[in-house]
């Protein structure tokens, strides 16, 4: 059976970095199947990378190898690791990029990647995707046991993602924008369970704008209208139908978002 390697990076497609990594892997194991998860993560944006990986991994076949190279600390003392879960294998830097997945799945083993026999040499200080992570992923696909790459370790770096704060006395939930996709949709840190049951009884505030309730689809709003919706990642998103909320609202990551819960008056009729 052909092993699948799913690749995730912030390299974009304007340069040749992604193509080089694929070439390295195919040279080691021509029988692998490479799937591009995305290479459009905002440069060095670990939170976005972690969310993308978390929203995608469960849709892949058993034993997929995820090669994740969003690596602001390349060339530093951060550790390259291999993580084995009950279903998949993850290869990349120990910088928090796997923490959202592992919070959900746990892990069976984590290996430091120290055996340079599986690296390309010389090793660049700026392109570990080519020289360390890609060859290691390909060798795993080829059947090299994980213990050959390095000793096991306990624990991993946990990425700090801002959490929404509920203030019951105010009947408000305080969140913020944590990612923005290529369509200009604003992804918040407000998980769907905080709002779906109250979808008709909330107001969402961002800057000077107020959105009444949740939409079930973009088509429920007129073209150009601002709307709030639960996105495919399971978080509250702010969007513009046939437009860009990022552009229209002129916001960036970190912008505050407040959900106001509307108290329903009891009927005495």
- What pLDDT digit, counting tens, does each position of 109-157 carry? 999 999 999 999 999 999 999 999 999 999 999 999 999 999 999 999 9
pLDDT confidence of residue 232: 86
pLDDT confidence of residue 169: 87
pLDDT confidence of residue 268: 38
Residue 76 pLDDT level (bands cut at 50, 70, 90) = confident
Contact present, 70 and 44 (Cβ < 8 Å): yes
Considering the domain 4-148 in this protein, what is its CATH number?
3.40.50.10790
Average pLDDT of every residue of the chain = 93
* Position 101 pLDDT exceeds 60: yes
* Position 35 pLDDT exceeds 50: yes
Q: Write down the domain spans for the chain.
A: 4-148, 165-261
pLDDT confidence of residue 266: 43
pTM summary value: 0.87
- What CA–CA distance (Å, rounded) separates 143 from 149? 12
- What CA–CA distance (Å, rounded) separates 94 from 77? 10
Considering the domain 165-261 in this protein, what is its CATH number?
2.40.30.90
pLDDT confidence of residue 264: 55
* Position 32 pLDDT exceeds 80: yes
* Position 63 pLDDT exceeds 70: yes
- What pLDDT digit, counting tens, does each position of 218-268 carry? 888 999 999 999 998 889 999 999 999 999 999 999 999 999 998 654 433
pLDDT confidence of residue 265: 40
Residue 269 pLDDT level (bands cut at 50, 70, 90) = very low
């Amino acid at each position: 059976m052909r092993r699948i390697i799913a690749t995730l990076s912030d390299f974009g497609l304007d340069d040749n970095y992604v193509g080089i990594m694929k070439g390295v892997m195919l040279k080691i194991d021509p029988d692998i199947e490479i799937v591009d998860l995305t290479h459009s993560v905002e440069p060095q944006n670990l939170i976005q990378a972690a969310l993308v990986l978390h929203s995608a991994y469960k849709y892949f076949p058993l034993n997929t190898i995820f090669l994740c190279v969003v690596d602001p600390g390349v060339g530093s003392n951060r550790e390259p690791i291999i993580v084995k879960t009950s279903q998949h294998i993850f290869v990349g830097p120990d910088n928090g990029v796997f923490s959202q997945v592992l919070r959900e799945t746990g892990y069976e083993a984590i290996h430091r990647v120290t055996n340079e026999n599986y690296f390309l040499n010389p090793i660049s200080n700026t392109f570990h995707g080519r020289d360390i992570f890609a060859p290691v992923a390909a060798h795993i696909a080829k059947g090299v046991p994980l213990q050959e790459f390095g000793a096991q370790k306990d624990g991993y770096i946990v990425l700090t993602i801002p959490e929404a704060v509920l203030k019951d006395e105010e009947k408000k939930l305080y969140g913020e924008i944590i990612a923005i996709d290529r369509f200009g949709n604003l992804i918040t840190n407000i998980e769907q369970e905080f709002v779906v049951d109250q979808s008709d009884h909330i107001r969402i505030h961002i800057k000077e704008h107020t959105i009444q309730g949740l939409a079930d689809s973009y088509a429920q709003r007129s073209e150009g209208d601002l709307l709030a919706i639960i996105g495919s990642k399971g978080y509250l998103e702010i969007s513009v139908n046939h437009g860009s909320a990022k552009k229209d609202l002129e916001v960036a990551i970190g912008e505050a978002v407040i959900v106001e819960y509307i108290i329903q008056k009891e009927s005495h009729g």
